Amino acid sequence: MLNSGTKIFKNFDGLKVMIRVIKALVMRELITRYGRKNVGFLWTFFEPAFFAFLVTLVWTFVRMHERSTFPITAFIYIGYSNGLLWRNTINQCFHAINANQGLLYHSIVKPIDLVISRWLLEFLSVTGGAIALGLLFGGFGYVPFPHDLSYLLLGWILMAWFGLSMGLIFSALSVLSEVVEHFIQAFLYIFWILSGSLFAAEFLPPNVRKYFLYLPTLHIAEMVRYGLLGPIMNYYYDIIYPVFFNLIALAVGFFLLKIAERKIEVE
């Protein structure tokens, strides 16, 4: 009984140390990446804003706004912002260990800390940028108030979870194989197109849609779109599927990271 209590306290102390380490890493990463004035953070705001502006400009130029009431700006804004949660996370987590390997000489810093700190920074910056951009577009009448905030938040959290799970997997692969580095950008580009961030499942022919729905990101994007835009079109999603996928991906990520950690120790 006493041993069990001691073990719990040790685990709790270890968790407190991990939280302190992650907080320190986030602050270090924040200064390193964005500078002390955090001007670089504005890119998470301007990237989706610029893309939404271009699409809206083309939409207006071809006079689609006269033939359709479809909220194209809001559609692009929420899909692009939500997609950045996984795209930016995977991209940053892939380099998390190799770029900060010197920090692992400190016994309290673990590879998992490096990955989680980068994931957390991306989550906070993308979410902050999305809120700021949503308020701006909303002020001009381009983005409506969320139809169902619960679906919007659920989809946002699921996409962040997906980003963490895949970030763990790719950070481990960056250590286990040098070959992956040559394909990561191509993978992110192709998956960005296929992920459902910039198109709705309803836009696809039924015989094509059934294959795209194997992608958990499409289910999540549909949830987020419904949460913001409401019943303006048919949505295709299953909440359980991305949860199940994320659980498996998270377990695989932890397993691979454990193997990668042993390789780092050997080197």
Query: Does 178 or 190 have the greater pLDDT score?
Result: 190
Dihedral of alpha carbons 77, 78, 79, 82, sign: positive
Q: Which residues neighbour 128 within 8 Å (Cβ) at sequence distance 6 or greater? A: 41, 44
Residue in 132, 172, 141 with CA at minimum distance from that of residue 48: 132
Q: How far apart are CA 134 and CA 128, in angstroms?
A: 10
Question: Which pLDDT score, from 0 to 100, does residue 250 have?
Answer: 97
User: Does residue 82 contact residue 47 with C-beta atoms inside 8 Å?
Assistant: no
Rounded average pLDDT over 69-86: 87
Please give the DSSP secondary-structure letter assigned to residue 141.
Answer: T
Question: What is the DSSP secondary-structure string of 100-133?
Answer: TGGGGGSTT--HHHHHHHHHHHHHHHHHHHHHHH
CA R_g for the chain: 20
Residue found by looking up tokens 């094509």 in the block: 208
pLDDT band at 242 (very low <50, low <70, confident <90, very high): very high
Angle at alpha carbon of residue 60, lines to 193 and 138, rounded to 5°: 80
Residue type, 203: F
pLDDT digits (tens, 9 = 90+) for 6-60: 444 455 677 888 889 898 898 888 777 766 555 555 665 676 677 767 766 776 6
pLDDT of residue 35: 65
Average pLDDT over residues 216-232: 96
The secondary structure of residue 232, as a DSSP letter, is S
Please say if the pLDDT value at position 67 is more than 80: no
CB neighbours of 205 closer than 8 A, spacing ≥ 6? none
DSSP letter at 41? G
Helix (H) or strand (E) holding 151: helix 149-176
Least confident of 31-35, 75-79, 250-254: 31-35
Q: How far apart are CA 212 and CA 174, in angstroms?
A: 27
pLDDT reading at 2 higher than 80: no
Q: Is pLDDT at 234 greater than 90 in this prediction? A: yes
SS3 state at 215: coil
| Torsion (CA) 249, 76, 129, 171 in degrees, nearest 10 | 20
Which pLDDT tens digit goes with each residue over 112-166? 999 999 999 889 888 888 888 888 888 888 889 999 999 999 999 999 999 999 9
Give strand ranges (E) for 40-160. Answer: none
- Residues in the chain, total: 267
Confidence of residue 4 (pLDDT cuts 50, 70, 90): very low
Q: Which two tokens stand for residue 157?
A: 């959290």
What lies within 8 Å, CB to CB, of 103 at 6+ separation is 25, 109, 114
